[in-house]
Structure 1
Amino acid sequence: MSYCINPLCEQRQNPNDIEKCLFCGTSLLINKRIRLIKPLRDLNENPFSYTEVFEVDDAGTQWNPVRKQRVMKVLKLNSPKLVELIERESISLRLINHPNIPKSTLDDFFTFVPNNSSLTLHCLVMDEMKGQNLEQWIESNGRISQSQALEWLNQLLEILATVHRANFFHRDIKPSNIILQSSGQLALVDFGVARRVTNTYLAKISGSGGDSTSRGGKYEITSVGTPRYCPPEQTDGQAVPQSDFYALGRTFVNLTTGVSLFNLPTDKKTGNLIWRDKAPQIEKPVADLIDQLMALLPGQRPQSTEVILRRLEKLPEQIKNYRLAKSKVVKYSKYALMSLVLIGGVFISIPLVTNYLVTQGRKLEAANNSHGAQETFEWAIRINPQLKPDIAEFYFEKASRNINNHQIARKYYERAIKYNAKDAAAYSNLALVCQRLGDSKCVIENYEKAFQLRPNSWESRYGLGNFYEDQQKYDLAEKEYQLAIKKSDEAVLAVVALSRLKNKNNEHEAAVTLAFQGLKNTKDPDLQAALYKDLGWARLKQNKLSEAKEYLEKAIQLDGRTDAFCLLSQVEEALGEADTARIYIEGCMLAKSTLPEVFIWRQELLDRILKK
């Protein structure tokens, strides 16, 4: 059976051995290669749907020469916004390379006009990920175990890491968009609302209200996603990569409870989903991670897939410690020791008791029992006040290990300061964490305290300068960077930052002077790469292309910097070396970067590609 692609055709089923639709005369062989085998959605189920999806027989192209069954999405409406979405999906599937994400090539996106019709259909062909989606799987099998949850979460994060490294985010993660393949591997599908992270997009969401770091301006941004899986900021049209983590957490609530999210209550005070009583097989450390993924504010969620994957690696030990902390032996032995100390501690020496309590406090903290840990540490300090610096150091190290998990790191740095109010590094690090959380008052207050304790700390001056640069207060940022450089010849990070800032402000000769100054004071290859990049950037803007090429090649050789790839592609293009430029363009587009200027350069490249 072959199907007619024409959505207006009244009799779309046709025999296999004919070339044109018997009813409307539209060719059944699309682009001389594709034949529609069957619809994957009922064609009559939702007449208002703007897309149809078919399983197709694809004879192949030069980019995909093997004949095989694939999937084709057909956009029936010519709305500019809908056309833009399917174009984005095509670009995302071409640029994201993972075996468990559908693959599509340049020739797989095209338009087709049915016979005797003014209707232009936009078609996107992609590889088929065969299997059962997790919404169907749950209906048949019920909720999953904790071990299954951890295995699936790990698989999805590996996929999502590839998506985010390509500077995309999915924006519609849910059980029905996850396929369990016969191999046991999960696949992530439906990139129809995926978004590329560009500087233009970030400027839009940061300027559309409600954010403490707003850049100003008013933009209209489309809200997409599925109710109950969609985080608050995405509902407001302000999705960020961490929005995917919220949807991932909600997905695992559905998988571990087997209950529809619409049937789960919400805490009226906190807005958090109440679900743990429906998933008794999930222990507290795992449930805590899922809840953190679903934090209401993006800054309270883990900030990258790498952070979550590291958390997963630590979970087995945390689960073990949690089970130990819950055991009656630990509980009763702790209180027995406390009682002996209060009575007089005749048979137990003070050092033995305090060492035991500190050890138990560390174990309780590792098991995410913060209340029990603090209570135990307080008992130890009552017995021996000299333990305060040791406990402060413990919390400082705990915060440093969780530095990318900003909400948790903040809590631990604040506890470190509670036990040692003279630690300048703790104040400085707390300021950095507050910067990531968007708490400007906390940033400035803690840097000021760090300056009082260590007036000659160039690191704190650099950190405050970085904060002001994030706020786009470039005059204040420059002042702090200059103070850092004045404090120490070792402040090469501040030199790098100021050189980059000078380039962004088109003060290219000043950037060159700073870059040469920095190169004299460092042998660190990462810093050298950044400085050579700034030299190349400045020389490109000064039209000294040979020098620019030399410096940018050094930067890439030292560190493979994404921004150097972007700049070198511009140099090669200016030199008329189109083939070489394409190589560097690929590095610019596909490598990971969080620099706003890289987003600008990528957007400029995409704009040129889409105009061709």
Structure 2
Amino acid sequence: MVYCINHLCTLRRNPDNAKNCLACGNSLLINGRIRLLRPLRSLEENLYTNTNVFEVEDVGTKSHPESQIRVMKVLKWSEPKLVELVQREARILQIIQYPGIPESARDDYFTFKLKDTLLELHCLVMQKVEGENLRQWLKSYGRIPQNVAFDWLSQLINTLDVVHSSGFFHRDIKPENIIHKPDGKLVLIDFGAAREITSTYLAKVSTNGGSSTGLGSGHEVTSVITAFFSPPEQMNGQAVPQSDFYALGRTFVNLVTGMSLMDLPINEKKGRLIWRKYAPQIDKPFADLLDDLMASSPGQRPQSTQVILQRLNKLPYQSKIYKLIKSKKTLFIVLVTLITLGLFAGFKVFLPLMANNLVLQGKKSEIANDSQTAQNYFNQAIEYNSQLKLSVSQFYLEQAARHFNDFKLAKKYYELALKYNDKDISAYNSLAVVCWQLGEVACALNNYQQILKLKPNDWEGYYRLGSFYDQEGKEDLAQEQYKMAIKINKKAVPALNDLSRLRNLKEDYTQASALALEGLRLTEDPKLQAALYKNLGWAKFMQNQYNEAEKYLQKASDLDSKRIDAVCLLAQVQEALGKIEDARLSWEICMLARTTQQDVFKWRQELLDRLTKNGSNAIL
């Protein structure tokens, strides 16, 4: 089976012996050398992306005389900014020859003209790196120990040293863009967002702040953003070489905790992730380095890869000192010395030490699946030192996070965590989510209500309860909670958005529009803006204001390509406007895209009912 390169082709799969695509007639041997074997990203999921990526057979060139399996990126549109990015990526891969970066030669970048169209596809062929990306690796093996983290960080900093020294920086470091090869070596991939480090570029960053809206926004300095990994300055179109360090630090927090970054709490005053307690295997010197990499300001981070390499060289010695200070043997020697000097006055002084030892024994028992013995140890420890309740609760929270995919086990650990600390709002919220996943509605509701008892003026608590009722189909109860959230905090944009959606469902389109417009006035978050524009467009559509509806729904889709509900609504608006070809394409995306948005399923069924009733050609 070989694939057609034409992304507009209606049937892209072809038999191995075909020379030209049976559907559109384009050659299946691209540039006289490349055969597309299989897509590395689902073609159905790629409707909104600018590129297709294929595993290909390269039958041979001057630089690669033997046939080999490689990877090819195909730019679907000749938009100048997109072409500039893929050309820059090609140039980077040609310039930098290093084991930690995919290989690509000068003749690996070329264009391909599609038959009977004006479209010219820009193609980049590169080395196929065997292995799995670190997101997949983490899913398979869990969080990494410190020795692995040290090895991987050292490899990647050496790779970045070569990249930065060559006059570029990456701008999109994340687990998905790092491949772990079978021999343990790491390769940094996807340089499509990379920039050159030039005085001209840095001048643009410092003077006009770049573009905060991505490609085609008017500035020459464009921003590339990956949620939770991109630093603050990059979100404002002001990425600098030190931006790579921030993304790398966050990548390693993800790897050493085994947790999604969105699930980690944040120190509101310092704006830093609170992650160390979820990675007990990482000692303080190494953790300090990761936190320095993730400093909120580029000037607070290490200023070069060489500075980081120097700190990495010192880490083994610093870790030994730290372990020596923390070791039981060292503690025993200190205690004996103090006793000898007569600084201990009676048995009570030893109680904290005994309590800590009991906690340690309890943790070992729980890890060995002896829960009852563990709780006996913990309860005895707390009798000696009541302050250990929080430590025991935190231990159970860590166990719950580690086993979150096993909902029954996670529920047990969250309940135990709350037994020792019944004031932990985040634990109640997590327990509510787990209960809902288990179908235990009463348990979920009870925990959401418990949050409100602890913090009655917390708008987010009312919003979470409203979302729960919303998911359960109890729309009137959901509206009450959303209104309470807005009453407490008039800037509660998520509540404004969801209440707007429910008013659309209640056919109160004037109120739905007002709520959406108020939310748009208060937020600059693209995801929230997309949801609000969708609700606004929905209301305008139902009021027969089709041109306005089309404008708002297109805006929603542009801001968030995963808002399939906006596309489904847009299809209906385009149909009402008589834009049949546009409607057909929008309906196709609406029907094929993967989504969990509940309204989409209703609109899909309505379309199927119409097609069944009127015939396949009656609507479009």
TM bucket normalised to smaller: 0.5 to 0.7
**Could you say which residue in structure 1 is the equivalent of 2:47?**
47
Q: Which amino acid aligns with 2:224?
A: V
**Could you say which residue in structure 2 is the equivalent of 1:540?**
none
Q: Does 1:295 align with 2:295?
A: yes
**Could you say which residue in structure 2 is the equivalent of 1:269?**
269
Q: Which amino acid aligns with 1:295?
A: A
Alignment of 1:386-425 (within 5 A): none
Q: Which amino acid aligns with 1:325?
A: I
Shift of 1:79: 1.1
Contact 2:242 2:302 in 1 (8 A): yes
**Could you say which residue in structure 2 is the equivalent of 1:108?**
108
Q: Does 1:233 align with 2:233?
A: yes
Q: Does 1:178 align with 2:178?
A: yes
Give, in whole Å, the separation in 2 of the partners of 1:152 and 1:94.
24
Shift of 1:18: 1.7
**Could you say which residue in structure 1 is the equivalent of 2:60?**
60
Q: Does 1:253 align with 2:253?
A: yes
Deviations 1:233-270 (A, max 9, x none): 11111111111111110000000011011111111100
**Could you say which residue in structure 1 is the equivalent of 2:71?**
71
Q: Name the CA shift for 1:209/1:131 in 2 (closer, same or farther; >3 Å).
A: closer
Give, in whole Å, the separation in 1 of the partners of 2:336 and 2:13.
80
Give, in whole Å, the separation in 1 of the partners of 2:335 and 2:55.
66
Give, in whole Å, the separation in 1 of the partners of 2:320 and 2:99.
34
Secondary structure at 1:47 match in 2? helix
**Could you say which residue in structure 1 is the equivalent of 2:23?**
23
Contact 2:223 2:237 in 1 (8 A): yes
**Could you say which residue in structure 2 is the equivalent of 1:320?**
320
Shift of 1:309: 1.5
Shift of 1:46: 3.1
Contact 1:149 1:252 in 2 (8 A): yes
Q: Which amino acid aligns with 2:156?
A: L
**Could you say which residue in structure 2 is the equivalent of 1:195?**
195
Q: Name the CA shift for 1:276/1:27 in 2 (closer, same or farther; >3 Å).
A: same
Deviations 1:3-44 (A, max 9, x none): 000111101111111210111110001111111111101111
Give, in whole Å, the separation in 1 of the partners of 2:336 and 2:223.
58
Alignment of 1:203-242 (within 5 A): 203-208=203-208, 221-242=221-242
Deviations 1:179-228 (A, max 9, x none): 11111111110001011111110111122359xxxxxxx96521103111
Shift of 1:339: 12
Q: Does 1:9 align with 2:14?
A: no
**Could you say which residue in structure 2 is the equivalent of 1:88?**
88
Shift of 1:80: 0.9
Give, in whole Å, the separation in 2 of the partners of 1:220 and 1:2.
38
- Which of the pair has the greater relative contact order for Cα pairs under 8 Å at 6+ separation? 1
Give, in whole Å, the separation in 2 of the partners of 1:66 and 1:331.
63
**Could you say which residue in structure 2 is the equivalent of 1:588?**
none
Q: Name the CA shift for 1:269/1:151 in 2 (closer, same or farther; >3 Å).
A: same
Give, in whole Å, the separation in 2 of the partners of 1:209 and 1:160.
24
**Could you say which residue in structure 2 is the equivalent of 1:550?**
none
Contact 2:104 2:126 in 1 (8 A): yes
Shift of 1:334: 8.1
Contact 2:267 2:273 in 1 (8 A): yes
Contact 1:204 1:219 in 2 (8 A): no
Secondary structure at 2:325 match in 1? helix
Shift of 1:87: 0.8
**Could you say which residue in structure 2 is the equivalent of 1:281?**
281
Q: Which amino acid aligns with 1:45?
A: E
Give, in whole Å, the separation in 2 of the partners of 1:84 and 1:25.
29
Q: Which amino acid aligns with 2:204?
A: K
Q: Which amino acid aligns with 1:248?
A: L
Q: Name the CA shift for 1:327/1:24 in 2 (closer, same or farther; >3 Å).
A: closer
Give, in whole Å, the separation in 2 of the partners of 1:13 and 1:191.
28
- In the alignment of these two chains, the number of paired residues is 336
Give, in whole Å, the separation in 2 of the partners of 1:36 and 1:327.
57
Give, in whole Å, the separation in 2 of the partners of 1:233 and 1:120.
35
Alignment of 1:201-600 (within 5 A): 201-208=201-208, 221-327=221-327
Q: Name the CA shift for 1:40/1:328 in 2 (closer, same or farther; >3 Å).
A: closer
Alignment of 1:112-151 (within 5 A): 112-151=112-151
Secondary structure at 2:72 match in 1? strand
Give, in whole Å, the separation in 1 of the partners of 2:297 and 2:103.
33
Give, in whole Å, the separation in 1 of the partners of 2:27 and 2:209.
50
Deviations 1:390-439 (A, max 9, x none): xxxxxxxxxxxxxxxxxxxxxxxxxxxxxxxxxxxxxxxxxxxxxxxxxx
Shift of 1:140: 1.1
Secondary structure at 1:122 match in 2? strand
Give, in whole Å, the separation in 1 of the partners of 2:31 and 2:332.
76
Q: Name the CA shift for 1:220/1:191 in 2 (closer, same or farther; >3 Å).
A: closer
Give, in whole Å, the separation in 2 of the partners of 1:229 and 1:183.
27
Shift of 1:94: 0.7
Contact 1:293 1:301 in 2 (8 A): yes
Q: Which amino acid aligns with 2:151?
A: E
Q: Which amino acid aligns with 1:275?
A: W
Q: Which amino acid aligns with 1:234?
A: Q
TM-score normalised by length of structure 1? 0.52
Q: Name the CA shift for 1:8/1:155 in 2 (closer, same or farther; >3 Å).
A: same
Contact 1:207 1:219 in 2 (8 A): no
Deviations 1:359-389 (A, max 9, x none): xxxxxxxxxxxxxxxxxxxxxxxxxxxxxxx
Contact 1:2 1:35 in 2 (8 A): yes
Q: Which amino acid aligns with 2:163?
A: V
**Could you say which residue in structure 2 is the equivalent of 1:586?**
none
Contact 1:97 1:162 in 2 (8 A): no
Give, in whole Å, the separation in 1 of the partners of 2:192 and 2:255.
23
Shift of 1:108: 1.1
TM-score normalised by length of structure 2? 0.52
Q: Which amino acid aligns with 1:222?
A: T
What percent identity do the matched residue pairs reach? 58
Q: Which amino acid aligns with 1:5?
A: I
Q: Name the CA shift for 1:143/1:169 in 2 (closer, same or farther; >3 Å).
A: same
Give, in whole Å, the separation in 2 of the partners of 1:101 and 1:340.
60
Contact 2:40 2:54 in 1 (8 A): yes
Q: Name the CA shift for 1:309/1:8 in 2 (closer, same or farther; >3 Å).
A: same
Give, in whole Å, the separation in 1 of the partners of 2:219 and 2:24.
44
Shift of 1:330: 6.2
**Could you say which residue in structure 2 is the equivalent of 1:435?**
none
**Could you say which residue in structure 2 is the equivalent of 1:509?**
none
Give, in whole Å, the separation in 2 of the partners of 1:133 and 1:56.
19
Shift of 1:325: 2.8
Deviations 1:292-316 (A, max 9, x none): 1111111111111122122111111
Shift of 1:162: 1.0
Secondary structure at 2:25 match in 1? coil
Structure 2 gap segments, 5+ residues each? 211-217, 344-620
Contact 2:46 2:52 in 1 (8 A): no
Q: Name the CA shift for 1:41/1:327 in 2 (closer, same or farther; >3 Å).
A: closer
Q: Name the CA shift for 1:40/1:329 in 2 (closer, same or farther; >3 Å).
A: closer
Give, in whole Å, the separation in 2 of the partners of 1:85 and 1:198.
16
Q: Name the CA shift for 1:36/1:322 in 2 (closer, same or farther; >3 Å).
A: same
Give, in whole Å, the separation in 2 of the partners of 1:331 and 1:225.
47
Deviations 1:262-292 (A, max 9, x none): 1111111000001111111111111111111
Contact 2:34 2:58 in 1 (8 A): yes
